[in-house]
Chain A
Amino acid sequence: MTMSLMSEVGQKAFDLGIPIAVHLDVTYRCNERCVHCYLDHDDHGEMTTAEIKDVLDQLAEAGVFFLTFSGGEVFLRRDFFELLEYSRRLMFNVKIKTNAVMIHEAEARRIRDLGVDTIQISVYSHRPEVHDAITKLPHSLERTITAIRFLRQQGLRVTIANVLMTINSSDQNGVQELAAELGAHYTLDPTITPMMDGDTSVLALRVPGEELPGIFSNPALVGNQEEFCAPPKPPSEEDLEGYSCSAGHSFCYISPYGDVFPCVQFPLPTGNVRQQKFLDIWKFSPAMKEVRSIQAKDLTVCSSCSHVGSCSRCPGLAYVEGNMRGPSTADCEKSFYRTGVPTANMLRQGLTRPRALSGNSAALIQIQPVPIQTVQIQSAQIQPVSVPTC
């Protein structure tokens, strides 16, 4: 009930083709060197303060409401608070993704004063020796936890984001308990993405698919486990008329260099805001239009898959595998390990189980965890009455 209004608004934006949410990376530079990170941390010509402000003006005009600032580490930009203040003047709902090691009491207070909605912070383990080995920054866990306490003292909403890998997979309960102790939300994401230069060596960090059922049976992460793991229902006509996700429909990603993509995980170039207006790219880019046109019935393999109505198939990961209309092996694995039912993609290859650590898979799974706090949604309306005007 409480989520229906938000869903309604999201659907309206989707139907009208309004980019209601944008993820903006303001830098790829970072003070940590996480072992699983896919980014090149050198600065190849980030947008200037003026350029980003101009983009923010354009995004507000285009109807963007939810704005995520991310990186790299956003606080490495000396102008970050200036950008934050500017975005709040434009009345965006702002979320920040950060490792938080540069947030002290003064920064936490300023973030609160600027009315930031949520700060998402990466924590990979509750044990310093594991977390710091992943970030390669000594004392990073201690600094991050201190920052979270400062933020929570200001009454700010904090989400702890844990990336699940082979090297920290046994620590997920510990991180979840740490989040509870700090009063933070907790999310778990086992997605490991190849490096931007195509290097896939980081994929060796992915947790084996055989471990996924253990995650899928955790109600704290998946909600109703029985429902989550239920065998797929036969697809309806509506399922086949449907689209994969909001990428390119009501969501997009902008890099520090001004490149616009349908999503963070969908590296299909659609234009650059240094050369074109954002709305021209959003509305008229042939690549963006192509992404928008793809319905489930158009998918080369997945349209005949029993999972088509319930699979979280990511078109971006499918694109990385070679065909945005094709299957995403990562999501095939997820569907299989969630339900035990082989996918069409597996069956056409004669597989009854996914190949172990398939090299062409960009990422394994993504889970949307159960939110700890429920968003309250209400509607306020004044209904005009039909009487003569005053």
Chain B
Amino acid sequence: MPENCLYIARSSAIAARALAGEMMVMNSADSTFFTLNEVATAIFQAADGRTPLREIVRHRICDQFDVDPEQAQTDAEQFVTELSSHGILLVSTQPFASEAP
């Protein structure tokens, strides 16, 4: 599927809190615990279910971090896929009906 059609939202089953610039994320379903670095945190925080991933990468990553846009997009998709497999992020080709918490 074309990557610019991806929308991401935070799962309601997770707990999350920023600690010194990094995001702690825990999925209560399986107690999987992650820490996200600054760039991953920016994507996670922007996962409102309505903003396309490509737009998040462009405005929240490329505009703020010194990254190659194509590499950033590839890394972001990989990151989203990984967190999605753990139930942390929900991924869809359509915007989500309700805004993420």
What is the interface of chain A, defined by CB distance below 8 A to chain B?
5-6, 9, 12-13, 16, 18, 20, 60, 63-65, 88-89, 91-94, 115-117, 155, 157, 373, 375-390
Contact = CB atoms under 8 A, between A and B. Distances in A.
Contact of A16 (B20, B37, B72): B20
B63 A115 contact: no
The 4 closest A-B pairs by CB, nearest first: A93-B15, A390-B69, A390-B62, A387-B68
B78 to A, nearest CB: 8
Which of A12, A115, A386 lies at the interface centre, i.e. has the most chain B CB atoms within 10 A of its CB?
A115
20 contacts: A5-B33, A5-B35, A9-B24, A63-B17, A65-B19, A65-B26, A91-B15, A91-B101, A92-B15, A93-B26, A115-B15, A381-B37, A381-B39, A382-B75, A382-B78, A384-B67, A385-B68, A385-B71, A388-B66, A389-B63
Contacts of B61: 384
Contacts of A20: 17, 19
Contacts of A388: 66, 68
Nearest to B40: A382
A16 to B, nearest CB: 6
Nearest to A155: B29
* Chain A contact residues: helix, strand, loop or mixed: loop
* Chain B contact residues: helix, strand, loop or mixed: mixed
Given A380-B79, A390-B58, A63 B29 contact: no
Interface residues of B, number: 43
Given A16-B20, A20-B19, A382-B43, A117 B26 contact: yes
Contacts, number: 119
A382 B28 contact: no
A20 B19 CA distance: 9
Given A93-B28, A116-B28, A378-B32, A12 B20 contact: yes
A60 B34 contact: no
Given A63-B17, A65-B15, A390-B69, A380 B82 contact: yes
B19 A12 contact: yes
B68 A390 contact: yes
Given A117-B26, A157-B31, A376-B32, A18 B19 contact: yes
Contacts of A375: 31, 33
Contacts of A60: 17
A378 B63 CA distance: 28
A387 B71 contact: yes
A379 B75 contact: no
A65 B33 contact: no
A381 B19 contact: no
B28 A115 contact: yes
B75 A389 contact: no
Contacts of A385: 67-68, 71-72
